[in-house]
Amino acid sequence: MPVISLPNVRLHVQELNPEGAETLIMVHGMFSNLAVYYFNIAPMLAKHFRVVLFDMKGHGMSEKVQTGYDLTSMTNDLRDLMDALGIEKAHLAGYSYGGLVALKMATRFPERVGKLAIIEGPDPSEQETLTIIDTYSKEFLIHYIENFADTTRLLAGKRQLEKNHRMYEFLFNETSIRSDMEGEKAFFNDPAVAAIEHETLLIYGEESNCVPSGRTLASRISNATLVLAPGDHNVPVQQPEVIGKELERFFEPSPLPVG
């Protein structure tokens, strides 16, 4: 699908099963791209839903911008994308920082969110959050190259590594990403998070440093269920079938009305 021009940014979008009755939007984490879902998890869910994937600003094939990586700006982008695609309401799944974007959507635009799945959403108040995201995003890239590059894997992998290295340098050195993320340190303590009423699934790797974040969210969101899966912060890459099946069960489509 082409890059879509929104009011403030151009985002690269991919859709699976565009005729699906219900829509599920999946948000990747910082320093990665939509490929974290595209090859394994998204096809499982596309059997049941219209699945929308997009590269966040500054990532993948989306526009490179210097500012606007805070949660309010990110959710403005997601709302604008929903408007552009004619999506009034969607289920949301978000991984890592993308999980925080999904949570923020539920606090700002609750009427536009169905069910909510948060995979490894880190507590921004933890000092190690940015390091965790950065480290595991590099692991994700290596996995992507090893498993999904084409027949000229070595050459394609080298090109991808070089491209991703440029993305890291851009995000770290030429954008507000660090200060924007640091500005979200109070997010888990926001009363709006505790007021979320959406049915919420929290999936964390049992070996992850972010498990305490999952327990915190589980204690604050009244309609939340915490599930621990084998793996660490990179659990969607390590256990895509496990995560896909958890999401399938949780987002089970509504039954069609009788008569």
Beta bridge partners of 94: 27, 118
> Domains of the chain (ranges plus CATH)?
3-250 (3.40.50.1820)
Which residues contact residue 186 at a Cβ distance below 8 angstroms, ignoring those fewer than 6 apart? 124, 125
Residue closest to 26 by CA, chosen among 53, 62, 49, 6: 53
CA distance 30 to 133: 7
Q: Measured between alpha carbons, how far is 236 from 127 in angstroms, rounded to an integer?
A: 23
Distances, alpha carbon 85 to alpha carbons 6, 23, 59, in Å:
11, 11, 20
Secondary structure element (H or E) that encloses residue 116, with its range: strand 113-119
Tokens of 46: 């596309």
Neighbours of 129 (CB within 10 A): 23
The letter for the amino acid at 247 is L
Residue by residue, pLDDT tens for the chain (259 residues) are: 689 999 999 999 999 999 999 999 999 998 888 989 999 999 999 999 999 999 999 998 999 999 999 999 999 999 999 999 999 999 999 999 999 999 999 999 999 999 999 999 999 888 666 666 666 555 555 555 455 444 334 444 556 666 766 777 788 788 998 889 889 999 999 999 999 999 999 999 999 989 999 999 999 999 999 999 999 988 998 899 999 999 999 998 766 555 4
Give dist(CA 72, CA 33) in Å, integer.
20
Measure the CA angle with vertex 179, ends 24 and 226; round to 5°: 40
Flag whether the pTM goes above 0.85. yes
